[in-house]
């Protein structure tokens, strides 16, 4: 299991919409609000599943399922590059 946080600027509504679009474009599912939610995305190596919470400028992720060959740092780096931009 992986846990990490990403600082963000802007409104929680914009952040959730950005995350929802990113997950759905990748063929995944996204269910959540501006407080918390869950997501799942299929990769060639397996599926990534997790939960998120949003609190005062920080987006906290908990990855509950991931392929063994995909390190937590790679997931964190990818999400930071996509969501904090």
Q: Which domains are seen in the chain, by residue range?
A: 2-83 (3.30.310.80)
pLDDT value, residue 57: 83
pLDDT in tens, 23-59: 999 999 999 999 999 999 998 999 999 999 998 888 9
Angle, vertex CA 54, rays to CA 6 and CA 45, nearest 5: 60
CA distance 7 to 18: 14
pLDDT above 90 (res 75) = yes
| pLDDT, greater one: 65 or 7 | 65
């Amino acid at each position: 299991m992986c846990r990490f946080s990403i600082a963000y600027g802007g409104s929680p509504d914009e952040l959730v919409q950005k995350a929802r679009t990113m997950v759905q474009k990748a063929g995944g599912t996204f269910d959540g609000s501006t407080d918390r939610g869950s997501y799942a995305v299929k990769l060639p190596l397996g599926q990534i599943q997790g939960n998120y919470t949003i609190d005062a400028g920080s987006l906290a992720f908990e990855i509950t399922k991931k392929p063994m060959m995909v390190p937590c740092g790679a997931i964190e780096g990818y999400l930071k590059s996509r969501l904090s931009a």
